[in-house]
Structure 1
Amino acid sequence: MNLNAFIKTAMPIAGRYKKILLVMRVTVFLLLMGLMQVSASSVAQRITLSSKNADLQDVIEQLRKQSGYNFLYIKKDVLGRAKPVTAQLNDVTIEEALNKIFTAQPLVYQIKDKTVIIKPSLDKPSVRAEQKPVTGKVKDETGETLIGVSVLIKGTKTGTVTNSEGSYTIQAEPGSVLVFSYIGYQTQEITVGTESNINVSLIAVAGGLDEVVVVAYGTQKKETVTGAISSIKTKEIKQSPAANLAVTLAGRLPGLTSIQRSGQPGRDITQLFIRGQGTVNAQSPIILVDGIERDLTYIDPNEVESVTILKDASSTAIFGVRGANGVILVTTKRGTSETPEINFVAEAGAQDFPRFISPVNAYDFATLKNLALTNDGLPAEYSSQSLKYYKTQEDPLRYANTDWRKLLIKDYSYQQRYNLNVSGASKTTKYFVNAGYLNQGGQFNTEKDLSYDPSFKLNRYNFRSNIDIQLNKNLKAFLNVAGYLEQRNSPYALGGDNPTDWIIYFMNRMPAVVPGPLTPDGQVITYSDIDHPAYGLINRSGYTQQKRSNVLATYGMEQNLDFITKGLSARAVVSFDARTVNNLEATRKYEKYIQIINPNLQGADGRDSVYYRPFNNDQNTPLSIGGGRNFETLSNFQGFINYAKTIGKHDFSGMLLYQQQNNVINNELPFKLMGLASRFTYGYNSRYFLEFNAGYNGSEQFAEGQRFGFFPAVSASWLISNESFLQNNPVVNLLKLRGSFGKVGNDRIGSRRFLYLDDIQVVGGGFSGSLGNAQTINYNLLKNAQLQWEVAKKYNLGLEMGLFNQFNLVADVFYEKRDNILRNRGTIPELNGLPISVLPPVNIGVVENKGFEVELNYKKSFNKDLSVLARVNLNYATNRQIYADEPLLPEDYAYRYRETGYRIGQMFGYQVDRYFRDANDIANSPVQNVGGHESRPGDFKYKDLNNDNLINERDMAPIGYSTVPEYQYGAAFNLTYKGFDFSVLFQGISNVSNYYSDQGVFADKNYVARHLESWTAERAASGMPINYPRISTQSNPNERPNSFFILNASYLRLKNMEIGYSLPSKWSSAIGAKRLRIYANGLNLFTWDKLPTKEFDPELTNSRDYPITRLYNFGVNFTF
């Protein structure tokens, strides 16, 4: 490595680290100042109030101001029943104030976090009898304790709430009924008998209207949401042992398609699509973690509270120029309970390859090689005696039968994960601190006595600290600090980002007849057709090591501005994200040898002698060290003005946001984004809701005068179940219609920047650099100063229905038309001196995308011991390219377009009719000129689609589906019984195709089991099954894109399964724990598909990819 170059590279990076340190110092200073404010203002959180015959709404407003607590209630249910309030309170706690105020009210309340939920109570007189203390714990359907659950004696105002451990104590008489209620959960009633301990398991309500859901830059009550939104909570996320959070989401959210393209540790690439594909350019959604852009790959699932996807224009218009592909919002956990809670999780698992290509043994290889040569009219390579020895293995030194898969692939590798978090709260401060460690091993065997480690493996350390501080009654602040350190390791192989590509390629080429892996003196053995044996690539080529580090600090403050007008507040958030990637490459050359058998010289045993000669001139060399460093910073500022007001039956709210983002990668010019966003909502009588969202954004991707755009959306909903004719209906507990329309954009239009500028290059030499002396000016690309973002016009209609407080149905239909898609011109004729490749891309593409989504949930708690949850979802999204500026092919083409009118990713190939039977059959069939190769008996006979008696590219037709599925579906089932819990998730995709080719598929250099049933005249004559065309050692017309190799990649997968047991509290308390749960789960356990061989994984696109792993995992969870 050049030391001077390294120092020059490091100097500006060191400067950036100074900026990071400065930001961190400022952050710590602000935190300390906040803590001082906490100390100074803690007394101010107590309540002082004097009222006489005051309206309850005014009293609640006073409590909200003094306590900082939020109040949640339905006005018509609460204010319509409320009595005037007369109270004299002096320096009391919020709990004491609430007890005093609500003593004479026909209402009950419960406290969750810092939210007070008020509901009507039944006010029936009751005859009191002798009471006794009743105690117990309240948990959810997964066994987690619930804090703040209201426990009320039915028909009275006597009640309590559960504490930080989920426990309660209440005085009740035998025969009385305890009513357990909690926001978002089904109310449960239990009659008090002779027992003094009653434990309860609550199950979440299907579609509870008082549930708070995450939306863009805020939250809303579920009843007021007018857009298309889906979300899952941490309990579902943690049921999967996947190392990548993106893998965890597969099959769980309607509208989200998750496809895993690799299983390599640290490189388990996952493609995400929201409602399919709407463009040929960047298609992935924007991912925000607590409002800041991040990558799902590096997030510890244990720090995630919820994941929400925003799908329609109403939900994403606020993101303006970046909202067209949908948005994924990740919300991390924060402190809640006033009692500190420590949670520790330890997991260990074993993973393997459920599907991997396995070449045939040595005897079958030799037999098939002879057959291929015979098919080509060439002499056989292996004699009958050789075939005998390969079959009997009497002489394994000379007639090897090497199982390269067993030699190079482990039976299993390990994965382990540890996580420790602490959360809690005081009157003014909430905190959540999390630390995690993940270790994932690779499946390839490596030598143990090397001086370096070439194995595939991943080590990742995560950290997060979320702190919320109530500085005084009108001012609060928060500080989030998160980061990770990651180290990936892999063999160097032939370099590049994906060493697996070459390792598996040459592994599948290596036949079993090659001995190995080493000569008697330890040198790598190869084969005449293989320059790079897989064993050498794994062990002797060196290694690569990538170290990634990241730190993200986000600081925000929110000021109550009620002194200006009630309901007004301001919020400011600033974040700084620094990411570093250090790449180390340690490479070396190594000797390779070929085994030679000399039939003219016999050994002592009388058999042909064996020796090894060098394959080429490579010599063993020491490691050569090189590498590089990349540095990236992302700074973001957000300023909010929020307003909320209620006037009688009318609810108003508004938000105005200014955002500016600056992204610097190494020494490149910054990527900049800035703009305004707004939201206005109106609700009438909790029945009719209207919402307007808009973004006005600017992007540096475009020329001045073209950088800013306005993206509005409007949506409305009608909550029919709140109408008088449907209220309190025993069957329909929820009925809601909603619709939206809007315009959103996409500025991610390609990897090249500054397309609005000419790309000019001076090439050639000359004296003193003077132009005209052997120098020329080349236009690489002409500018397009009118370049703009893509524009997506989206429509959505939705229905939400709840039945019997157990079933919940959500259905949406959507339509999108996206235009201004950046594409290269295809219909302009070439001009003299100006090739088409120099012409700039223009905003001419048009794509139509449409579909539907359905989700059905069933939740029921049968009794305190048994509850079930079932969820199924199905989404369908299909697209069509309306305009691609594609030249119309001549009339003699069977299909005159390759893109226009078809789905994005549609594949074309030849349609296989049957196999050619003999030479006469070939002579009487249309002439096949496929790849310039002559057809022979046993080759594919393709269909002559244009009827010109000639098979060529004019007969190519659309085959199968796109590479992105039209259908995605999932089915989850959860059951809890006493301390046991069980969950299972099935996930699948449909109407999707892949082109399977290359090593392990084609009969090239090596063979697999499928080739044993290839075409021969004998098999054809006897009617035996034929599963492959004639094999050959030469190029042929068969191994081309056609309907034989373009296969239906639809599948149904048992994605996750988990079974757990929570020990009784008396057992866990014996070791000082509040709760102790043990569990086992699995990932990618079984797959059903339509592929002709079970060696292919339907999610992978070619045979070189690192296979997707199956994981068996065991864990224990302690809570203290």
Structure 2
Amino acid sequence: MKRILYLFFLCCLIPCTIYAQSSQITGTVTDSSDGSPLIGVTVANQNHVGTLTDIDGKYSIDTKQGDVLTFSFLGMQTQTVKVGSQRVIDIVLKEDNQLLNEVVVVGYGTMRKSDLTGSLSSLKSDQLTQLSAVDVTQSIQGRASGVSVINNSGEPGAGTKIRIRGTGSVNNSDPLYVVDGFPVSDISHIAPHDVESMEILKDASAVAIYGSRGANGVILVKTKGGSFNKKTQVNVNIFAGLTEVDKKIDMLNAAEYATLKLEAYKNAGINPSLSSQSILDYAIANNTRGTNWQDEIMRTGSTQNYNVNVSGGSERNKYDFGGTYSTEKGIVKNTYMDKFMFHLNNEYKLFNNVTVGINASYTTYEKSGNDGDFYSGSITQALKADPVSAAWDTYTNEFGEIYFSYGRNPAQSAYENKYRKTQEDRFIANAYLQINDIGLKGLSFRAQFGKQFAYAKSRNYYPVYYITADQQRNKSSLTENRSDNTYWNTNEYFSYVNVFGKHSVNATLGVEAQKSNSNNLYVKVYDVPENEDLRYPNMSSNKENLEVSGGAGHSALLSGFFRLNYSYDSKYLFTGTFRADGTSRFKKKWGYFPSFSLGWNIMEEEFAKDFKQNTSFSQLKLRGGWGHVGNQASAGDFDYLALMTNGYTAVFGGSQVDGAIQQKLANEELSWETSEQYNIGLDYGLLNGALSGNIDYFIRNTNDMILDTPIPIYAGMWRPKTNAGSVRNSGFEFSLNYEKSIGQDFTFNAGGNISFIKNEVTSLGGGEPLYGQYSKTEVGKEIGYFYGLQSMGIFKTEEQLNSYVNEKGSPIQPNASLGDVQFKDQNGDGIIDDNDRVYLGSAMPDFTYGLTLSAAYKGLDLNLFFQGSQGNKIANYMYSVLYSTSMREWSNSKDMMNRWTPENSDSNLPRVHDGDPNQNDRFSNRYVEDGSYFRLKTLQLGYTLPSVISKKAFLSKARIYVSADNLFTITNYSGYNPEISDLWGNPLNAGVDMATYPTPRVFTIGCNLSF
């Protein structure tokens, strides 16, 4: 609408008198972002003769050779061209954010970026579509300061973990997502090409408008909505490619394994069976390579993505709709994902000041595979299985027997991935009404109502198999989980925007309500047919063959909110917000969440004019803020209530009757976790805006963290929830961006960000520490730091072994021998046990960073994106597999060929021993590795065809490209991938690698076409 008004204004001003000229120039002016024609571009020359482009973006103008044509349009960078002998001049205009005084989306409205006083990061569509990803959250990684994005695994459809300014709770630290004003739990249902912009709100002054849901930050997504007075345009985006594992673990071959296995028997004084002896001897004598189990379960995967989008608009209507189909075949056999996403955005002007619209989307996907499961996943089995065994028994025509290591045949495990399927369907519809200038200029009203329906089903089938008496499953089984969720949200608010002289006001006042209902059902049935068409959870009426459980939940939220933005003379800025939330999750329903922030545009001051002229600074804004927000996601729907459980029986009058018991105490004082946050920042621009960035320092104090309260064991109940803990996050964020154009043909852009975040638990309410799989959480340290024994190396000499004694002269490690691991007796009690465990590092990095480099010359463009992490540790549980000394359960890394032996006594790897009497495999710093890494995330080379060629194919724009994702990674980590999420989704288990599905390299070729 702004562009239309601007064009009307120009039409009134531009003299259109036509002078006789010697020749006529024609051409077309298009938008660089999508190749669409620009209507109403001013085309003028030095003699002030002008014209406007028509509805197709075309123009004609009389000129003389040597004239200079100027092409200008609101929000676009002006271009000048000197006329030579050419008769056709086509122009591509680029967006100029400085001219637009960029508008960004904030909670329940928009603001000029120059008036912002909070901390946020903005991402545009072109940044989110460079990566060959089907999940838009993957495209955020490394692109915003203070925002950590970690892939849960490389398995298709695995999703990501996002943390804004660190982990703020031992419970839930996920941000709130809001799509076109509708709050959702995640944004996996949105295709990257459907996103117009994304704003990441980071500090309390920016998120307090969301009250009890804003403690972990807010991600606002605006999807593409079309444009008024724009011809219908069809955009097609396609890519397809191959995926491969980045690296494989170098394992022992059969002959090497046999050598170590016999040595382990010998060191343990065990005589192997004749069959075992003969198998191992044969492998050694023939230098057998054996089975490479990683090759047996892995393959070259593939990825395909097809996106079609239609957009445009008339004077009163604008629209954008389209669909995306994505399919991935994982690098582990029989893992895949198929996903279809459809969206429709439509807006219609009923009157000049009344608009109605709808945003609707539907997503359905199916995936197979359960390789994230450490205990049954085929990746784990591939690292455990001995290489002497065969994948397939040619005599029985069945999967082969695993002779020496515990576990299943990995090839069989990979085969059964196809029996593990997850399906989900999600539909969202969000309608709104917007009324502007309601009796008062600048006063508007917006009402919005949206509803989501989600249904999910996961099904795992476990067939019968028999290899040996120890390797069999004598009953087939089928498990099925079903869940459905219905959720609605409505918000209504008034906005007032006006300017009074030097005073500018932007105020919002509104209410919001939402409700969620969910149900889930779990069924397990045994003796199920192998025929997939005959597998149904309700096929058995025999209670012995049937397990059933389920549950339901519901929650509701009612809120009121207010925000005031005030600016004086564009110099002094103020933002204040207040929100009241009432929730069904607590006995004390209401919470109150205020915030305020201040800003100072220093370069608008009189005294700064000389500074501006004498330096390169074009912008300098100081801002600071405080806020109080909540985190109700850390509480369950009924955590404050007592929990009764049925399924128990009692005897009354000699008869057994069904009954129930109280399983958890009530706590009516339970409330939301709260977060008090402080932020101070500086936004700067130099070289007329070519160089820009910001610096932020923040403190985020989480209080009233929900913990389980210790109660006596004899109480016989679960621990009740209480608000007892607190956590402090603090840190610095830096971002920088530089953009330079050289002539009309070459542009260069470089951008980067780096974040330093420190995490500390400041209180556990006087309670005991919290423990994870290999972690501990206590006051004064990070959440979930690694906790274990400290290795002092290997006992290499008799003197060293005999001198390691307690005060009584008894051995501290009585079962140790030469070549075993020496553990440090931390408390000096003369024994090695759990009381000797100490701090071994944290999964939280010292800093994370991202770097973007891009250049374009004429039609060629090159984009590189790097990201990384420094200082984080990884608890590599697979180390206990790869370097196990017992040789009972596992195979081993090829590094174990350098183990300790009497002939190799300087080795730092322990001896092998069937039985491991010294417990060398206990969790210790031997398993904790440096997880720092530097990765080339994306390398993309593209070429945009000249318009002369594309028009012959009836295209307004055509670009082809080749791309590589995760091309290389520099790291000291020995595992598949240094990017490790929270094990089982628990922040107490952050950075624990239990054979995580590797993140693959991706090579794609694609095209972007506009019609």
Q: Same fold (TM over 0.5)?
A: yes
- Tell whether 2:369 aligns with 1:458: no
Cα distance, 1:269 vs. partner?
A: 3.0
* 1:506-550: CA deviation from partner (whole Å, max 9, x where unpaired): 222211111232332312222244453222233368713322111
Name the structure 1 match of 2:534: none
Match of 1:664 in 2: 517
How far 1:498 sits from its partner (Å)?
A: 4.4
Q: Contact 1:542/1:587 (CA < 8 Å) preserved in 2?
A: no
Aligned match of 2:447 in 572, 589, 606? 572
Which residue of the partner structure matches residue 816 of structure 2? 935
| Alpha-carbon distance in 1 for matches of 2:427, 2:786 | 43
TM-score (norm 2): 0.87
Out of 583, 586, 590, the residue aligned to residue 458 of structure 2 is: 583
> Which residue pairs with 1:284 in the alignment?
174
How many angstroms apart in 1 are the aligned matches of 2:862 and 2:801? 60
* Distance change >3 Å, CA 582–CA 948, structure 1 → 2: closer
Correspondence for 2:942: 1060
Q: Does 1:787 align with 2:670?
A: yes
Q: Describe the shift of the 1:732–1:400 C-alpha distance in structure 2 as closer, same or farther (beyond 3 A).
A: closer
Q: Secondary structure at the match of 2:465?
A: coil
- Does residue 632 of the first structure (1) align with residue 485 of the second (2)? yes
Partner of 1:715: 597
Return the alpha-carbon distance in structure 2 between the equivalents of residues 133 and 324 of structure 1: 62
Which residue of structure 2 lines up, in the alignment, with residue 697 of structure 1?
Answer: 581
Q: Partner of 1:855 in structure 2?
A: 735
C-alpha contact 1:886 1:899 (8 A) present in aligned 2: no
Please, which moves more after superposition, 456-465 or 930-939? 930-939
Equivalent pair of 2:804/2:812 in contact (CA under 8 Å): no
CA–CA distance in structure 2, aligned partners of residues 511 and 164 of structure 1? 71
Q: How does 1:1071-1110 map to 2 (within 5 A)?
A: 1071-1091=953-973, 1093=974, 1095-1099=976-980, 1101-1110=992-1001
Alignment of 1:21-100 (within 5 A): 69-70=1-2, 97-99=8-10
Pick from 982, 1000, 1008: which aligns with 2:862? 982
Kindly indicate whether the alpha-carbon contact (under 8 Å) linking 1:242 and 1:1083 is maintained by their aligned counterparts in 2.
no
Residue in 1 that maps onto 2:506 = 653
Is the 8 Å Cα contact of residues 929 and 951 (structure 1) preserved in structure 2? no
Deviation at 1:191, TM superposition (A): 3.8
1:217, distance to aligned residue in structure 2 (A): 1.8
Question: In 2, distance between residues paired with 1:522 and 1:291?
Answer: 58
Residue aligning to 1:28: none
8 Å contact from structure 1 (residues 212, 220) kept in 2: yes
Residue 537 (structure 1) aligned to one of 413, 428, 440: 413
SS at match of 1:833: helix
| SS of residue matched to 1:471 | strand
Q: Which residue of 2 aligns with 1:50?
A: none
Contact 1:918 1:936 in 2 (8 A): no
Tell me the residue number matched to 1:59. Answer: none
> In structure 2, how many angstroms separate the alpha carbons of the residues matched to 1:932 and 1:1018?
23
Q: Give the CA deviation at 1:424.
A: 0.6
Task: Report the counterpart of residue 953 of structure 1 in structure 2.
Answer: 834
Answer whether contact 1:203 1:859 (CA < 8 A) is retained.
no
Change (3 A) 1:167 1:722: farther
Q: Distance in 2 between matches of 1:562 and 1:550?
A: 36
CA distance in 2: counterparts of 1:94 and 1:897, whole angstroms:
62
1:816 is paired with a residue whose SS is: strand
Q: Cα 1:146–1:371, aligned 2, differ >3 Å: closer, same or farther?
A: farther
The amino acid that maps onto 2:484 is F
Distance in 2 (alpha carbons) for counterparts of 1:822 and 1:554: 33
- Provide the residue aligned with 1:909 in structure 2: 788
Identify the match of residue 429 of structure 2 among 543, 553, 557: 553
Task: Give, in whole Å, the separation in 1 of the partners of 2:995 and 2:43.
Answer: 63
Specify every segment of 5 or more residues in structure 1 that has no aligned partner in the other structure, as ranges.
1-68, 72-92, 109-125, 446-454, 594-613, 890-895
Query: TM-score, normalising length from structure 1?
Result: 0.79
Pick which of 1079-1088 and 912-921 moved more.
912-921
Report the Cα distance in structure 2 between the residues aligned to 1:863 and 1:364, rounded to whole angstroms: 64
**Once the 2 structures are TM-superposed, how far is the Cα of residue 435 of structure 1 from its aligned partner?**
0.8
**8 Å CA contact retained: 2:776, 2:787:** no
Give the SS at the match of 2:419: strand
Partner of residue 542, structure 2: none
2:19–2:62 Cα contact (<8 Å) kept: no
Measured in 1, the distance between the counterparts of 2:445 and 2:490 equals 14
> How far apart in 2 are the matches of 1:375 and 1:877?
48
Hey, what's the Cα distance between the residues in 1 that align with 2:450 and 2:810?
A: 62
Paired letter, 1:780: Q
1:246-395 pair list within 5 angstroms: 246-266=137-157, 268-294=158-184, 295-336=186-227, 338-379=230-271, 389-391=282-284, 393=286
SS of residue in 1 equivalent to 2:709: coil
Letter in 1 for 2:967: L
Change (3 A) 1:716 1:925: same
CA shift in 2, pair 1:850/1:531, >3 Å: closer
- Give the Å deviation of 1:561: 4.0
* Residues 852 and 471 of structure 1, relative CA distance in 2, 3 Å threshold: same
Which amino acid in 1 is paired with 2:393?
A: L
Q: 2:883, 2:392 → 1: CA distance?
A: 24
* Contact 1:290/1:331, CA 8 A, preserved across alignment: yes
User: Which residue of structure 1 lines up, in the alignment, with residue 772 of structure 2?
Assistant: none
Deviations, residues 533-579 of structure 1 (Å, cap 9, x unaligned): 2222333687133221111111111112432x221111111111111
Count of residue pairs the alignment pairs up? 949
Alignment partners' CA distance in 1, 2:976 and 2:262? 25
**1:404-803 alignment runs, 5 A limit:** 404-410=293-299, 412-445=300-333, 455-490=334-369, 498=373, 501-528=376-403, 529-539=405-415, 543-563=419-439, 565-593=440-468, 627-666=480-519, 668-703=552-587, 706-727=588-609, 729=613, 731-750=616-635, 752-761=636-645, 764-767=648-651, 778-803=661-686
Residue 707 of structure 2 aligns with which residue? 823
1:619-650 Cα offsets, whole Å, 9 max, x none, are 6x8x8666353211111111111111221111
1:490 CA displacement: 3.3
1:499 and 1:915 map into 2 onto residues whose CA distance is: 29
Q: Give the 3 Å change call, closer, same or farther, for CA 958–240 of structure 1 in structure 2.
A: same
How far 1:897 moved relative to its partner? 9.0
Match of residue 841, structure 1, among 714, 718, 721:
721
Conserved in 1, the CA contact under 8 Å of 2:343 and 2:361?
A: yes
Counterpart AA for 2:342: F
CA distance 1:855–1:159, shift in 2 (3 Å): farther
SS of the equivalent of 2:618 reads: strand
**8 A Cα contact 1:939 1:1030, kept in partner:** yes
Answer yes or no: is the 8 Å Cα contact 2:640–2:721 preserved in 1.
Answer: no
| Separation in 1, partners of 2:102, 2:592 | 32
Output the CA distance in 1 between the equivalents of 2:355 and 2:811. 72
Tell me the SS of whatever aligns to 2:394.
coil
- The unaligned stretches of length 5 or more in structure 2 are 520-550, 770-774, 982-991
User: Relative to structure 1, is the Cα distance of residues 471 and 500 closer, same or farther in structure 2, using a 3 angstrom cutoff?
Assistant: farther
Q: Contact between 1:359 and 1:1008, CA under 8 Å: does it hold in 2?
A: yes
Distance in 1 of aligned mates of 2:633 and 2:811: 38
Alignment check: 8 A CA contact 1:207 1:808 kept: no
Identity fraction in percent: 28
State whether residues 463 and 473 of structure 2, in contact with CA within 8 Å, keep that contact through their aligned partners in structure 1.
Answer: no
1 CA distance for matches of 2:453 and 2:375?
29
Q: Which of structures 1 and 2 has the bigger CA Rg?
A: 1
**The residue matched to 1:309 in structure 2 has which SS?**
strand
Shift of 1:282: 0.4
Relative to 1, partners in 2 of residues 1:562 and 1:363: Cα closer, same or farther, differing over 3 Å?
Answer: same
Shift of 1:303: 0.7
> Could you give the per-residue CA deviations for residues 873-930 of structure 1, whole angstroms, max 9, x where no partner exists?
00111111111135689xxxxxx99511001121122222221123432221145999
Residues 147-156 or 366-375, more deviating: 147-156
